[in-house]
Amino acid sequence: MTDLCERLLEAHVKHELALWHGAALEATLAEWVRSIFRFCETTKLDDVATRAQILGVIDRYVIELRMSGGITELTGEMSNLVFSSKASADTRLDEVVSPVSFNEFADKILALEGVRRELISLIAHSASVAAISARLAARGLLELLAPPRTLARVLDETSFAERLRTRVVPRIERQVVAGLAWYLAHNRERVRKHAEQHLLEELDFEQLRAAFDELWHGVAKLRLSEVFALVGEQDIEDFVVLVYEFWLRYRKTEYFRRIATELVDHFFMKYGQESLSALIDEMGVSEPMVQQELWVFLEPLLGQAARTGALERLIRERLETFYGSEACRALLPR
């Protein structure tokens, strides 16, 4: 490198250093952000990105990226810290979830009439529910047939009571269970319809809303620590692991790939011909916001880099390749 090139290099390094730390840094960042936003105003999404590029990013960093088990461990630890925090002991549930929010959420859930009817229908069709109902009905009939308490006390003092318990009652039980099983087998559809209709009547909007309100009034004043106490530390960690393992499997499914492709296609159909500026604006991001956040994070970072000499080294290494090149020497007088 010639003497003139070295002097030019030093002057250029000094100039760049002055721009990227100290009093000039804020103006430099503002100018860069302003230039980027002006570029975005005249540039469309389709000009700078394709569907294949975005799907490639999803494939590399969502589907195929190997996730460390440390993420799961850290998530579990952070969850436990939240559960054991003093803030959880000092805060009531209704201070986090307002009554207005609860009412809106409850009303929306109860307004899903189709979901309610379908769930009740599925329950009514369930063989397990039918078996439980049969057992409950059998128990109710047996209790109905059992002697009153006053009579039972008298019978307990006689030998007849022993014969009743050992001979008569078991036979009645068998007959009741057998008769109920026969009835259910021959009237399954009628029983199902009756059960479904009964559930629809019992679980109507008003009754469900009353149940939601009772639940809310019962827990609203509880401290968060009291609510969290219902779930143990090990339970939290288990849930984190279950969610993590589900995500690892789900992201590899064909369904996830197809949905991701459809979403990316829709995004490009909607915004492909829009300017990047319009897209950024829809996200709620503004030029002053970007300037402020860059200043908050870069000012201490570049300040430390300047104090340690790292910023100068970075600038010098970038500029030396030009000032030491044949192209630079060819431009200077010999």
Whether 318 is covered by a domain: the verdict is: yes
Contact at 8 Å (CB) between 155 and 164? yes
Number of domains within the chain: 2
The token pair at 36 is 């980027």
Q: In terms of domains, do 109 and 182 share one?
A: yes
User: What is the pLDDT tens value at each position of the chain, 334 positions in all?
Assistant: 688 889 999 999 999 999 998 889 999 999 999 999 999 999 999 999 999 999 999 999 999 988 777 777 888 788 888 888 899 889 999 999 999 999 999 889 888 888 878 887 887 777 776 666 666 666 666 666 555 554 455 445 455 555 555 555 566 666 666 666 666 666 667 767 777 777 777 777 888 888 889 989 988 999 988 888 887 777 887 888 888 889 999 999 999 999 999 999 999 999 999 999 999 999 999 999 999 999 999 999 999 999 999 999 999 999 999 998 988 888 887 7
Q: In terms of domains, do 13 and 112 share one?
A: no
Q: In terms of domains, do 214 and 321 share one?
A: no
From 207, 222, 237, give the residue that closes a domain.
222
Q: State the residue for tokens 């006390």.
A: 153
Hey, is 21 helix, strand or coil? Answer: coil
Whether 154 is covered by a domain: the verdict is: yes
Whether 69 is covered by a domain: the verdict is: no
Whether 259 is covered by a domain: the verdict is: no
Q: In terms of domains, do 121 and 190 share one?
A: yes
d(CA 294, CA 315): 19
Whether 209 is covered by a domain: the verdict is: yes
Whether 182 is covered by a domain: the verdict is: yes
Instruction: For the full predicted model, state whether its pTM sits above 0.75.
Output: no
Q: In terms of domains, do 35 and 116 share one?
A: no
Whether 54 is covered by a domain: the verdict is: no
Q: What values do phi and psi take at 198, rounded to 5?
A: -65, -45
Q: In terms of domains, do 121 and 209 share one?
A: yes
What is the model's pLDDT at position 53? 96
Whether 264 is covered by a domain: the verdict is: no
What is the model's pLDDT at position 172? 63
Q: In terms of domains, do 117 and 208 share one?
A: yes
- Residue 140 domain boundaries: 102-222
